[in-house]
Structure 1
Amino acid sequence: MTAPAGAIFGTIGALAAFPLRLAAREVARQHGELRRGVTRRTTHVVFGRALLVKAGLTKTGDVEIERRVAAERGAGRALLSENGFLRLLGLMKAPEASSLSRQSLIDQSRLPGADLDLLSLFDAFEHDSEPYSFRDLILARKYAGLVAGGATWGAIARSVHRSGPVASLTAKSLAVGSAFGRPDAIYLDGGESELDGQLLFDLGASDDDPLEELFADAEAAEQGGDHDGAAALYQRCLAIDPGDPIAAFNRANCLRAGGHPAEAAHDYARAIKLDPAFVEAWFNLAGLMSEEGKTASARRHLRKAIALDSNYADPVFNLARLEFDAGELLEARRLWARYLELDSESEWAGVAARGVQFVDMQLAKSAG
């Protein structure tokens, strides 16, 4: 099996099973792209298992994973587990023959569908998606019992990957650790031993790990509002990997939010130089130029963003507003009408509709 030509893969969380640089090399050989993070061009999202480890350190970590999974699925992107990604690239052999559908597994195991999907996404089964195998059914029944006992999908997935090969769990008895003071852990044989031991894949063994940790820390700082700290961390990422356009883009966003427009413009330009089709970078650079009063540059950058992605509604709206301010009423009307084709329900759609009405009234007055 090979990846579809032209596929754009984005990773969320560090890969535990395979160095990112080697995966990127193989994806490129198969005429695709692999980047950290997700952009509008991303077609496939790979959820790295190291994300589970970080999620286990906070009370809301698993909830954040669920939110991100729902967002990427809602955006229409294909979601892949690490194993699913490696199988797609032909770097991992497919497990035994399988014939069970997702719904059949749910019906026979009583495992909630949402938990099944998340456990599959983090390789808690032999198969990362349907069709599933009989071994997967055995595992699903065990996991369903753990969920009924109060375990979360995240606790199960983290414990599973401390145990060794997933298939080895089919012959073992599992129990939630609540009775032993560890509700976040899964125990073997009635609590006699915790399901831990060596990690299935040693997260510290990858050459990419320092960079992956830095990138994850930078994202966390950015999400927490520490823009200067995040910018410094993204700069360290770029020192290690100068060719990462997403690190440059994210740093630009942090610099812009932190009140450093000149440096932000430099890093947006850097991201665009590294990836000329990076539409979000063109859009954000246009926004920065508009804030700086450089409307001619802003209009050029917005037109470029629209040329790259004609279904990206935000630059259409912003360009309409700039054209209106410049007195180009017909062009503003055309763009607002186009925006309404892309978005007819949001608050901004109401603004666009009123813009069209206003221009029509002005044109009617002129004609009268």
Structure 2
Amino acid sequence: MTSVRGRTFGLIGGLAAFPRRLAAREVGVQNGELQRGVTRRTTHVIFGRKLLDRTDVCRIAARYRDEITKGRQPLSENGFLRLLGLIEAPTGATLSRQSILDQSKLAPEDFDLLALFDAFEHDTEPFSFRDLILAKKYAGLIASGASWGTIARSVRRSGSIASLTALSLHADRDNAIYARSDDGVSELDGQALLPLERAEPEDLEELFALAEEAEEEGRHGDAADLYRRCIAIDPSDPVTFFNRGNCLLAAGRTKEAEQSYLEVLKRDPRFVEAWFNLSGLLAGEGKKDTARRHLLAAIAIDGAYADAVFNLANLDYEAGDLTGARKWWSRYLELDSTSQWARTASNGIRLIDLAKRTAS
């Protein structure tokens, strides 16, 4: 439990997630104080979400700036509960506030105010990759005419902030935020509006692009999660399963990676890279015979797949099958005669020939 001893909390607006009397009791147990309003001794100011329902967003923003100027620490409701040790922040947070701002192009104060009303998974840094996705979505909504306040009011009705990363969000100027799905359009609390056309594929493409970006930057856990969200939208695409398998493997989650590669092959048995990568995974687990069969499957599909040929030669050599190793290294040299791997194959052939001459 996090101690709040000696801290004085001032509440602006009503709490939506937690009854005030229970909050006051918990603060008291931890030797702190929860006040109504703000006094000079207030050290932390909690901005209750109910404030959004009755106060103009410009006044809220002005109050937020004023409290910071006076040296008080603003807290969201979730931030307050986390400080009390009553809830935990989601795992996987690695991004700084500045990184989110740079990548999303969201205005700094809009970002801070959205975080203040728990429109992200995390209320303070480090932030998660889901927070980055949300920040980009919110920047688009603001560009469409919505205010940060409209976004904050709408997204808090959705129930699960994380679920918004997979939705197509749209703004009706500054009146409300809507989610578009195959069933039509609804407000984020689920209330249906007039049906529109099926969601355009750009939403999936945007999510896939974010997954690729995370993968390229080495954030393999984030990328795997994003690819999973793509799969939830379109479970027929083997490429998404393949990319997710690669990220899971890079993250050390080998069992999940193996399953993802198998899902690729269910959808496309001729996906040669999946055969190859699955072979490498299994070879690393000591399942050499199965790995060899997968390489043979890859080569049967694509006889010019040099990497598969090279790995097959290695497996045969390690198994003591010198004739097989020589055959596959010779084939590799037909495909590649100039690289470092070609020199390795040539050296392997020389060692095999030398061993045969010595034995005879």
TM-score, length of structure 2 as denominator length:
0.51
> 1:196 aligns to what?
188
Contact 1:164–1:198 (8 Å) recurs in 2:
no
Q: Compute the displacement of 1:197 (Å).
A: 2.3
> 1:92 aligns to what?
87
Distance in 1 separating the partners of 2:62 and 2:29: 32
Contact 2:179–2:188 (8 Å) recurs in 1:
no
Matches within 5 A, 1:219-368: none
1:134 to 129, 134, 137: 129
Distance in 2 separating the partners of 1:192 and 1:42: 47
Letter in 2 for 1:74: T
> 1:105 aligns to what?
100
> 1:4 aligns to what?
4
Distance in 2 separating the partners of 1:77 and 1:131: 21
> 2:74 aligns to what?
79
Distance in 1 separating the partners of 2:3 and 2:14: 20
2:49 maps to 1:54: no
2:163 maps to 1:163: no
Unaligned runs of 5+ in 1: 56-60, 200-368
Q: Which runs of 4+ in 1 moved over 3 A?
A: none
1:187 to 162, 172, 178: 178
Q: Which has the higher contact order (CA 8 A, sep 6+)?
A: 1
Distance in 1 separating the partners of 2:78 and 2:45: 13
Secondary structure of the residue that 1:64 maps to in structure 2? helix
Q: Compute the displacement of 1:101 (Å).
A: 0.6
CA RMSD of superposed structures (Å): 1.7
Contact 2:4–2:84 (8 Å) recurs in 1:
no
Distance in 2 separating the partners of 1:104 and 1:137: 9
Letter in 2 for 1:197: D
Letter in 2 for 1:111: L
Q: Compute the displacement of 1:35 (Å).
A: 0.8
Letter in 1 for 2:185: S
Q: Compute the displacement of 1:157 (Å).
A: 0.4
Q: Compute the displacement of 1:198 (Å).
A: 6.7
Q: Which has the larger radius of gyration?
A: 2
> 2:326 aligns to what?
none
Q: Compute the displacement of 1:3 (Å).
A: 3.7
2:31 maps to 1:31: yes
Secondary structure of the residue that 1:99 maps to in structure 2? strand
Contact 1:80–1:121 (8 Å) recurs in 2:
yes
TM-score, length of structure 1 as denominator length:
0.50
> 1:319 aligns to what?
none
1:296-346 residue CA offsets vs partner (Å, 9 max, x unmatched): xxxxxxxxxxxxxxxxxxxxxxxxxxxxxxxxxxxxxxxxxxxxxxxxxxx
Unaligned runs of 5+ in 2: 192-360
Q: Compute the displacement of 1:112 (Å).
A: 0.8
Distance in 2 separating the partners of 1:155 and 1:125: 14
Q: Compute the displacement of 1:107 (Å).
A: 0.3
Secondary structure of the residue that 1:116 maps to in structure 2? helix
Q: Compute the displacement of 1:161 (Å).
A: 1.1
Q: 1:172 to 1:198 in 2, by over 3 A?
A: closer
Distance in 2 separating the partners of 1:163 and 1:195: 8
Q: Compute the displacement of 1:164 (Å).
A: 1.5
Contact 1:160–1:195 (8 Å) recurs in 2:
no
1:253-302 residue CA offsets vs partner (Å, 9 max, x unmatched): xxxxxxxxxxxxxxxxxxxxxxxxxxxxxxxxxxxxxxxxxxxxxxxxxx
Identity of aligned pairs, percent? 61
Contact 2:5–2:32 (8 Å) recurs in 1:
yes
Secondary structure of the residue that 1:189 maps to in structure 2? strand
Q: Compute the displacement of 1:47 (Å).
A: 0.4
Q: Compute the displacement of 1:115 (Å).
A: 0.5
